[in-house]
A and B are shown apart, each in its own frame.
Chain A
Amino acid sequence: MASAFEYAPAPESRSVVDIAPSYGLFIDGEFVEAAEGKVFKTVSPSTEEVLSEVAQAGAEDVDRAVRAARKAFEKWSALPGSERAKYLFRIARIVQERSRELAVLETLDNGKPIRETRDADLPLVAAHFFYYAGWADKLDHAGFGADPRPLGVAGQVIPWNFPLLMLAWKIAPALATGNTVVLKPAETTPLSALFFADICRQAGLPKGVVNILPGYGDAGAALTAHPDVNKVAFTGSTAVGKEIARTVAGTSKKLTLELGGKGANIVFDDAPIDQAVEGIVTGIFFNQGQVCCAGSRLLVQESVQDELLDALKRRLSTLRLGDPLDKNTDIGAINSAEQLARITTLAERGEAEGAERWSPACELPSAGYWFAPTLFTNVTQAHTIARDEIFGPVLSVLTFRTPDEAVAKANNTQYGLSAGIWTEKGSRILAVANKLRAGVVWSNTFNKFDPTSPFGGYKESGFGREGGRHGLEAYLDV
């Protein structure tokens, strides 16, 4: 589609963020080198530019951090809730004050568009701290009985797709309930967590209450297996989640897991097509589809398939892929070469198994990791791309004839995290939503998040909830 006007570049300035050439681990309120002296580089996925060199935590560092968190726990858990609340309110405010800086940083380190970090990630991060700050002195009223107690030291391992938001989801409820934390950010996106350490310093948070350990899977494994960790929270792949569940078996560690998904976005024949198209686009291309609750399976009622696909293809042709710092960019870079390879392999498999592949005309930048928005039609339930989580901007389109068939197909997955329903008929929304085995159901909308709204999965998408009143339970001795 040729447009009458070309877009001029509209880059967000990088000058708002000052990235140091190297960072340490954040243990007991200090930045320190790793015990073994190891470091790793973190690159910007859109340019492959090295952003910084970061200390790499090992088992010894994990032990040091857990000891610091244990030491801090005594005083932190004994603080009146109203005092803990004020620390969290301070953190929320400082996040707001520094949100542009953090948004640019997140875009540089993760590759997602500035439009998302600025308008989605950062506002939600601040909102999460605000929400849980208010719970800290109201836990008696949370529905878990009188005087619920914290668990102790929480070991938290988070993924690279929403680095700072996942940190907020983990740290805010943990601190509000009186726990102390050791958090390991993902190896490809350590920077915003390290900036968060600086926010803790500015907020005057007592030493050892929050410890940040950049590192790889081995550090995460050491953390979840550490005998003095009382609570493990993990967001990431289902395979690693199962490994962690085996690790904590037979211990008293409380475990919550937020894992993969293969969300079905169900479009009925009476759906508002334009809104549905927007919802489908949001569902699968938000954050390049690197979202556990992405609507990666489109289930469309047969009678409107052609109309919907035409509209969807038209819309995809207008998406702008490129520099994530450009304020007009819709689709940014894939987070890593490894992830790009995984997406590429699965998409090739989709073609090899006979599904029909389509992408809009789309020029990919020469440097960095990119994948064009991609649709697969003629997909059946047996296809790999209909079953495996791709975690990229790849949508598999299946059809159905009756509501029952839509529900059966939507539920035909080992996952159960999210689903979408598009129809003008209210009773149909409620009937279908009732039957879907998914933790979050978006009707006539998609990918909406809020700190008051619990999020989490059924089946192999994990257990426990994050956000809302329900999100407190994971960090309380109840």
Chain B
Amino acid sequence: MSERLSVFKTYKLYVGGKFPRSESGRVYEVTDSKGKWLANAPQSSRKDARDAVVAARKAFGGWSGATAYNRGQVLYRVAEMLEGRRDQFVREVADAEGLSKSKAAAVVDATVDRWVWYAGWTDKIAQVVGGANPVAGPYFNLSSPEPTGVVAVVAPQESSFLGLVSVLAPVIATGNTAVVVASEKAALPALSLGEVLATSDVPGGVVNVLSGRTAEIAAPLAAHQDVNAIDLAGADEVLAKELEIAAADNLKRVLRPQPVDYFETPGTERLTAFLETKTVWHPTGSLGASGSSY
């Protein structure tokens, strides 16, 4: 009996909740760690990057305006969907990173758990980093965190899935929207993640995933006037400096690359990196002139 011929998947970008090919019509060959052909991934252009920013901006109002509880529900739903596709991602991560099946399984399990961890943060971070300020005067004064806006995420190159989720989840957990530049060599887990997000109640445009040459896609994002922040996790030293210089043009918040063990439970740094603190004052007034406060 001859072996059944399998059906290949055409990998596509994930932009604005849809799955377009690159507008440039270009693809590039993605191989496994041994050089075996895996897929022709879309090679995104500057125009694809700009389209993704438009989609992310459009989604920002709704996503940042959603209740924190609702965002937590949605993020948890992502973990549920991932769990159901566990085998697929174990295979993709094993191929992408040259890992044994058991090591890849550990990566995928950690990734699902990471989503769950961040899902629980959505309605707690404001209580941890915001609060009342005891000003010296008759004023009610409250500081609350708010999302910075549209965040460009240069995903880690080596940790194509756990690393990706570790930098993406905190960005959207707090209400930002994201344009992700997938790992260049290991883009497939990121592109498949787009399919998971599309089926997990994440509104279109909240996460946009682009594959291609990191430098080519990241440069227009770093220079884009409607991008508010950039995470340089997956940029090498030379590229990171170039991108940071470009980002200065509209004073983007920049998270520089740093050595991270993605298996370690993270702190709150990635959550707070793309939060603004808004402080609201209001006079407290007084009740009558009797001096009695009760």
Contacts and interface: CB of A to CB of B under 8 A. Distances in A.
Given A249-B248, A452-B134, A453-B135, A445 B283 contact: yes
A444 B284 CA distance: 10
B228 A443 contact: no
Contacts of B134: 452
A242 B251 contact: yes
Interface string A410-453: 00001000000000000001000100101111111100101011
Nearest to B250: A460
Contacts of A460: 250-251
B106 interface: no
A241 B135 CA distance: 29
A445 B141 CA distance: 12
Interface in A194-247: 238, 241-243, 245-246
Interface stretch (A49-57, A111-119, A381-389, A461-469): A461-469
A249 B277 CA distance: 24
A354 interface: no
Contact of A445 (B244, B250, B282): B282
Nearest to A438: B278
Contacts of B249: 242
Nearest to B248: A245
A424 to B, nearest CB: 12
B218 to A, nearest CB: 14
Contacts of A241: 251
B279 interface: yes
A458 interface: yes
A478 interface: yes
Nearest to B244: A249
A150 interface: no
Contacts of B77: none
A311 to B, nearest CB: 20
Contact of A453 (B228, B256, B269, B281): B281
B291 interface: no
Interface residues of B, number: 36
Given A249-B244, A249-B245, A448 B281 contact: yes
Contacts of A429: 282
B71 to A, nearest CB: 16
A452 B131 CA distance: 11
Contact of B277 (A250, A444, A454): A454
Contacts of A145: 267
A188 B182 CA distance: 50
A459 interface: yes
A462 B249 CA distance: 12
B29 interface: no
Q: Output the residue of A453, A455, A460 with the most chain B CB within 10 A.
A: A453
B228 A242 contact: no
A242 B244 CA distance: 11
Contacts of B129: 143, 470
Contacts of A257: 251
Given A450-B135, A450-B141, A453-B143, A443 B280 contact: yes
Nearest to A259: B251
B279 A455 contact: yes
Interface in B241-294: 241, 244-245, 247-251, 253-254, 256, 267, 269, 276-283
A125 to B, nearest CB: 14
Contacts of B253: 463
A439 B277 contact: yes
A425 to B, nearest CB: 12
Contacts of A468: 133, 143, 279
B248 A242 contact: yes
Contacts of A439: 276-279
A414 B248 contact: no
Contacts of A444: 282-283
A215 to B, nearest CB: 23
A250 B248 contact: no
B69 interface: no
Interface in A356-395: none
A127 interface: yes
A478 B269 contact: yes
A456 interface: yes
Nearest to A440: B279
Given A249-B254, A468-B133, 11 more contacts: A245-B244, A249-B241, A429-B282, A439-B277, A440-B278, A450-B135, A452-B133, A452-B135, A453-B135, A453-B279, A470-B277
27 contacts: A145-B267, A242-B251, A245-B247, A246-B248, A249-B241, A249-B244, A250-B245, A414-B250, A429-B282, A436-B278, A438-B278, A439-B279, A441-B279, A442-B280, A443-B281, A445-B281, A445-B283, A448-B281, A450-B137, A452-B141, A453-B141, A454-B143, A462-B251, A465-B277, A468-B133, A470-B129, A470-B277
CB-based closest 7 A-B pairs:
A250-B241, A245-B248, A249-B244, A450-B135, A452-B133, A249-B245, A453-B133
